[in-house]
């Protein structure tokens, strides 16, 4: 991708993992919600993703969008996910297709399929359990936030079918810096390390596809999300595994 890549939600945790891992790999344009407390290393804009004029400017001469902006809380109130996650994503897609953006990478979530766990936990978080989701399953949101993420996937399906923009939905697991979540089986099953987070977004920007849903986790022994599609279509090659850690320290 030689053209500008727009990164929304750039100051957040996922945005930080991407900026740290891929700072020199792309001609980035960042969208920050509020003025950043640091001097960014690439051009940026500040404002709300639901601001039509702002996102039209943000999408000018852009080849790809990595859309992270949104309320990430699993218990986010409906009015927040409606405005920030659902409406904001629609506004950005409209601006992207209007500007001729070729590729849209969307930060979906494990919470878009959270209710697959209800009758299976905690066994499905353990290595002996063979239950697996591969991205072809219909969403089963676990909360209103998860509804907003599944809706973002559907919004992308429409804009792909209607306008031809390539879409990769990454159902991110649990991004935790430095080591997997401690004493938290769900988090260890879906841990995504910072370097694997940057890597899967790099792969999504480089690969060719039409419309995809993949899981964004490291190669954890406890996983119940298949990585086959991400490996096959994106060339994803995760380097980390939560099983190699114990209580926040590398085991062995
Ligand atoms: N951190 C994780 O483990 C996971 C994150 N995700 C998704 O990845 C994305 C990023 O998540 P995090 O970095 O963890 O969250 P974060 O809260 O650290 O970052 C989100 C950023 O988006 C900005 N933002 C929120 N609403 C906005 C709006 N209306 N307009 C412009 N900017 C807005 C916030 O100011 C913040 O800087 C979110 O969409 C979240 O749903 C999905 C699964 C797991
Ligand atoms: O979508 C998200 O999922 C992760 C993991 O979910 P959790 O309920 O096990 O914490 C969450 O940490 C993150 O904040 C959220 O955006």
Spell out the domain ranges in the chain: 4-246
What distance in Å separates the CA atoms of residue 201 and residue 33, rounded to the nearest whole number?
21
Regarding the beta carbon of 74 and ligand 2, being less than 6 Å apart is answered: yes
Verify whether ligand 1 is closer than 6 Å to residue 69 (CB atom): yes
Residue 7 has pLDDT above 90, yes or no: yes
When the pLDDT of each residue in the chain is averaged and rounded to a whole number, the result is 98
Q: Is 224 labeled as ligand-binding?
A: no
Q: Is 80 flagged in the annotation as binding?
A: no
Q: Is the pTM of this model over 0.90?
A: yes
pLDDT at 252: 77
Q: How far, in Å, are 17, 33, 74, 170, 209 from residue 80 at the CA level?
A: 24, 14, 12, 21, 31
Confidence of residue 140 (pLDDT cuts 50, 70, 90): very high
Q: What is the CA radius of gyration of the chain?
A: 17
Q: Contacts by 152-156 with C-beta closer than 8 Å and gap 24+?
A: 152/70, 152/85, 152/86, 152/89, 152/106, 152/108, 153/106, 153/108, 153/112, 153/213, 155/86, 155/89, 155/90, 155/93, 156/93, 156/104, 156/106, 156/211
Asked if this assembly's ipTM is beyond 0.90, the reply is yes
> Which CATH architecture does the domain made up of 4-246 adopt?
3-Layer(aba) Sandwich (3.40)
pLDDT of residue 18: 98
């Amino acid at each position: 991708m030689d053209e500008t890549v727009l990164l929304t939600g750039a100051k957040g945790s996922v945005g930080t993992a991407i900026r740290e891992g891929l700072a020199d790999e792309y001609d980035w344009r960042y969208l920050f919600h509020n003025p950043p407390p640091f001097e960014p290393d690439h051009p940026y804009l500040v404002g709300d993703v639901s601001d039509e004029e702002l996102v039209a400017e943000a999408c000018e001469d852009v080849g790809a969008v990595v859309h992270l902006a949104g309320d990430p809380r699993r218990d986010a109130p409906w009015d927040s996910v409606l405005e920030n996650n659902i409406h904001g994503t629609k506004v950005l897609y409209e601006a992207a297709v209007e500007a001729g953006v070729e590729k849209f990478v969307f930060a979906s979530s494990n919470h878009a399929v959270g209710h697959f766990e209800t009758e299976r936990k905690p066994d499905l978080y353990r290595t002996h359990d063979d239950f697996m989701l591969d991205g072809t399953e219909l969403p089963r949101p676990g909360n209103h936030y998860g509804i907003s993420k599944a809706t973002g996937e559907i919004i992308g399906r429409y804009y792909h079918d209607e306008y031809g923009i390539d879409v990769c939905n990454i159902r991110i697991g649990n991004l935790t810096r430095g080591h997997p979540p401690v004493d938290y089986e769900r988090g260890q099953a879906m841990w995504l390390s910072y370097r694997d987070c940057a890597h899967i977004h790099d792969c999504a920007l480089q690969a060719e596809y039409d419309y995809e849903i993949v899981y964004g986790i490291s190669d954890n022994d406890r996983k119940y999300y298949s990585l086959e599609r991400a490996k096959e279509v994106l060339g994803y090659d995760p380097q980390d595994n939560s099983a190699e850690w114990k209580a926040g320290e590398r085991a062995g």
